[in-house]
């Protein structure tokens, strides 16, 4: 999929990253082009980016690092007093980065997001949200939720209340409206009626006509190139082993070449890959020549010690070459004043896995022409049915082993409530309009000029308040921007912030003086946050008043 210049949601997200320092959530259902968009902004926008993801495989696929490794965070529950143990080289990197991209954020728990917030504040010596850095959270919250171990449930309940600790329940967002852009145009499914059914299931709606439509596909399919999706690992592994054992052709085993640092949890495919002619396989990486895509299904037609040939659904046969995955680290280049990726290890193997079956969890992000959905073990996670059904391109490519029931559709009330704020165009334009003016001045260190421009815009807006014709729309204090609040009377000293705010200053204004004409009351002092440096309490914050 290529970047769509006519997609207004993509264009808004692009402009927010290019022209502002606003943190926001970028979401969209399967096939809406989130991955393509992320590649585009990193290639075209002149900013220092860092890409992080919650799991090793997701990080490798995104070309970044894992959140836990990068910030030095534990996998257990992270309490409100803990900050990451970041190595010295990464401290300088974080102080100079412009934008952090957190990919697959739907898999992140709230305590992980809060730990990132605290760690960035600590490193950047700033009380601003996420240390004054722009953070773009990317993912589909309607897909599989974050994993919570049984032993962690009680403490997470105490920290974030009942229910699943979704990332948006983090204290960093408490009481604020996180600006959210949802990509809506789907580039994957071509069946309009099936797409409508998927949208309703995604939103927790179950119509009888949808069930009838889906259950009409409860039929056997013995065609080649059909992959079975299962809700549990053991079932998928068992089917793959049984089908491989049925083949009476010789087995060939291919060992991966691993150089330097590459944690086995990040292995994109098996280190030791056993295959036979006739085996059904899935490609695990896009082909640079576009002969196949990540998720393409094929049948092995020829094997040698250093050769694998696969026939795909379109009848074409291709020889498969080994692929190298890179384990990357980020570093800051002082001379060039930019972040750079440093390859710390490589994993070279054929980009193939057995594909008679795969788990629903591992199917996230993939697309299949034909798919059998096995519900014998039931559906037990929020979003699991939607993830499974949205993997297939059309209704005709779907085959069910058993009927889908209303109980299989497991909506989350918390997700539904959070989603009400998606694509709030007024909020997004308000944030963008103000930050586009102020952010460049702050980025250039022109704090006094930014202060003057800020009050100029406030006064100008106040003049038009009664006529309801504001020349520039000021975001309300209820937005994410209010995570750092200012009371403005005579002037705002951005110099005191010591770092560029990750949100526009306009919506940090909680009140104004009679000079602006916005509110008739006694002048209030400016309030701002900055770090109190002391040997005894190096991580405390203090609120000061400046007259």
- The reply to whether 338 falls in a domain is no
User: What's the rounded Cα separation, in Å, for the pair 7 and 54?
Assistant: 28
CA distances from 30 to 27, 198, 396 (A): 10, 10, 18
pTM as predicted: 0.77
User: What's the rounded Cα separation, in Å, for the pair 347 and 3?
Assistant: 30
Q: Identify whether residues 132 and 205 lie together within a single domain.
A: no
What is residue 516's predicted lDDT score, i.e. its pLDDT? 35
What is residue 538's predicted lDDT score, i.e. its pLDDT? 35
What is residue 348's predicted lDDT score, i.e. its pLDDT? 97
What is residue 488's predicted lDDT score, i.e. its pLDDT? 33
Q: Identify whether residues 311 and 454 lie together within a single domain.
A: no
- The reply to whether 46 falls in a domain is yes
Backbone angles phi, psi at 298, to 5 degrees: -150, 175
Q: Identify whether residues 154 and 20 lie together within a single domain.
A: yes
Q: Identify whether residues 243 and 213 lie together within a single domain.
A: yes
Query: The domain that contains 120 carries what CATH number?
Result: 3.40.50.300
What is residue 544's predicted lDDT score, i.e. its pLDDT? 33
- The reply to whether 301 falls in a domain is yes
Q: Identify whether residues 208 and 156 lie together within a single domain.
A: no
- Paired with 138 in beta bridges are 26
Q: Is the dihedral of CA 439, 106, 185, 60 positive or negative?
A: positive
What is residue 464's predicted lDDT score, i.e. its pLDDT? 66
Which of 124, 159, 183 is the C-terminal boundary of a domain? 183
Closest CA to 473 of 431, 436, 425: 431
In which region does residue 31 sit, left (phi positive, over 0), alpha (psi from -120 to 50) or beta (all else)?
left
Closest CA to 492 of 507, 479, 477, 473: 507
- The reply to whether 419 falls in a domain is no
User: What's the rounded Cα separation, in Å, for the pair 165 and 112?
Assistant: 10
Contact predicate 112/69, CB 8 Å: no
Q: Identify whether residues 246 and 196 lie together within a single domain.
A: yes
- The reply to whether 254 falls in a domain is yes
Which of 183, 218, 250 is the C-terminal boundary of a domain? 183
Q: Identify whether residues 468 and 538 lie together within a single domain.
A: yes
Contact predicate 541/531, CB 8 Å: yes
User: What's the rounded Cα separation, in Å, for the pair 67 and 73?
Assistant: 8
What is residue 441's predicted lDDT score, i.e. its pLDDT? 83
CA distances from 256 to 57, 267, 459 (A): 16, 10, 65
Instruction: Assign 544 to helix, strand or coil.
Output: strand
Closest CA to 533 of 112, 125, 49, 65: 125
User: What's the rounded Cα separation, in Å, for the pair 317 and 308?
Assistant: 10
Residue ranges making up the domain that contains 512: 426-546
Walking along the chain (547 residues) 10 residues at a time, the average pLDDT comes out as 77 94 90 88 94 84 85 90 86 93 94 96 88 93 87 91 93 85 80 88 89 94 90 92 96 97 92 97 90 92 95 95 91 82 94 95 87 85 88 92 88 88 88 84 79 77 60 43 33 44 41 34 33 34 32
What is residue 190's predicted lDDT score, i.e. its pLDDT? 66
Q: For residue 445, how many other CB atoms are within 10 A of its CB?
A: 12
Q: Identify whether residues 179 and 250 lie together within a single domain.
A: no
Q: Identify whether residues 53 and 32 lie together within a single domain.
A: yes
Contact predicate 12/422, CB 8 Å: no
Encode pLDDT of 276-308 as tens digits: 999 999 999 888 888 998 889 999 999 999 999
How far does the chain reach from its first CA to its final CA, in angstroms?
55
- The reply to whether 60 falls in a domain is yes
- The reply to whether 335 falls in a domain is no
Closest CA to 516 of 452, 475, 465, 462: 462
Give the distance, in angstroms, between the CA of residue 272 and the centroid of all CA atoms in the same chain: 31
The total of structural domains in the chain comes to 3
Q: Identify whether residues 297 and 394 lie together within a single domain.
A: yes
Q: Identify whether residues 441 and 406 lie together within a single domain.
A: no
State the pairing for strand pair 49-53/99-102.
Answer: parallel
What is the H or E stretch that residue 325 is in? strand 323-333
DSSP code for 196: H
Q: For residue 472, what are the contacts with CB-CB under 8 A and spacing of at least 6?
A: 433, 434, 437, 457, 460, 461
Which of 383, 410, 437 is the C-terminal boundary of a domain? 410
Q: Identify whether residues 266 and 167 lie together within a single domain.
A: no
- The reply to whether 178 falls in a domain is yes
């Amino acid at each position: 999929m290529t970047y769509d210049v006519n997609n207004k949601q993509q264009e808004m997200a692009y402009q927010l990253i290019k022209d502002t320092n606003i943190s926001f959530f970028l979401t969209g259902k399967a096939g809406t082009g989130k991955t393509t968009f992320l590649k585009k902004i990193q290639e075209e926008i002149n900013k220092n980016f860092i890409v992080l993801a919650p799991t090793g495989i997701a990080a490798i696929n995104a070309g970044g690092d894992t959140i836990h490794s990068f910030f030095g965070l534990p996998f257990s529950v992270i309490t409100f007093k803990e900050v990451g143990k970041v190595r010295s080289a990464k401290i300088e990197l974080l102080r100079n980065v412009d934008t952090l991209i957190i990919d697959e954020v739907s898999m992140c728990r709230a305590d992980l997001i809060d730990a990132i917030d605290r760690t960035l504040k600590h490193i950047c010596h700033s009380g601003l949200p996420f240390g004054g850095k722009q953070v773009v959270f990317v993912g589909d919250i309607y897909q599989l939720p974050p994993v919570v171990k049984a032993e962690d449930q009680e403490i997470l309940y105490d920290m974030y209340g009942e229910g699943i600790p979704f990332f948006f329940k983090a204290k960093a967002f408490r009481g604020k409206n996180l600006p959210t852009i949802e990509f809506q145009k789907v580039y994957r499914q071509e069946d309009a009626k099936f797409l409508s059914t998927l949208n309703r299931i995604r939103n927790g709606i179950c119509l009888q006509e949808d069930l009838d439509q889906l259950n009409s596909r409860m039929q056997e399919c013995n065609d080649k190139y059909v992959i079975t999706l299962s809700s549990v690992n053991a079932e998928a592994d068992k089917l793959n082993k049984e089908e491989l054992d049925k083949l009476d052709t010789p087995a060939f085993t291919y060992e991966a070449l691993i150089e330097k640092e590459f944690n086995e949890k990040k292995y994109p495919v098996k280190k030791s890959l056993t295959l036979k002619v006739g085996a059904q396989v899935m490609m695990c990486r896009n082909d640079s020549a576009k002969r196949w895509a990540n998720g393409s299904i094929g049948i092995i037609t020829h094997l040698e010690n250093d050769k694998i040939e696969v026939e795909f659904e379109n009848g074409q046969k291709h020889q498969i070459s080994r692929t190298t995955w890179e384990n990357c680290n980020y570093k800051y280049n002082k001379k060039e004043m930019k972040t750079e990726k440093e390859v710390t290890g490589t994993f070279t193997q054929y980009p193939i896995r057995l594909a008679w079956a795969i788990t629903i969890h591992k199917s996230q992000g993939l697309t299949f022409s034909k798919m059998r959905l096995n519900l014998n073990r039931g559906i037990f996670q929020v979003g699991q049915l939607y993830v499974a059904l949205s993997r297939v391109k059309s209704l005709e490519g779907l085959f069910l082993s058993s009927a889908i029931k209303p109980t299989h559709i497991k909506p989350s009330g918390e997700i539904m409530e959070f989603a009400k704020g998606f694509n709030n165009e007024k909020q997004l334009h308000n944030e963008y309009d103000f930050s586009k003016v102020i952010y460049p001045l702050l980025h250039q260190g022109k704090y006094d000029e930014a202060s003057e421009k800020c009050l100029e815009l406030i006064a100008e807006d106040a003049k038009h308040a009664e006529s309801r014709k504001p020349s520039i729309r000021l975001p309300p204090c209820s937005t994410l921007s209010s995570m750092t609040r200012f009371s403005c009377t005579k002037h705002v000293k951005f110099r005191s912030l010591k770092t560029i705010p990750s949100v526009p200053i306009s919506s940090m204004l909680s009140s104004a003086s009679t000079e602006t004409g916005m509110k008739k009351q006694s002048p209030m002092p400016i309030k701002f946050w900055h770090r109190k440096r002391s040997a005894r309490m190096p991580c405390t914050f203090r609120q000061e008043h400046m007259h």
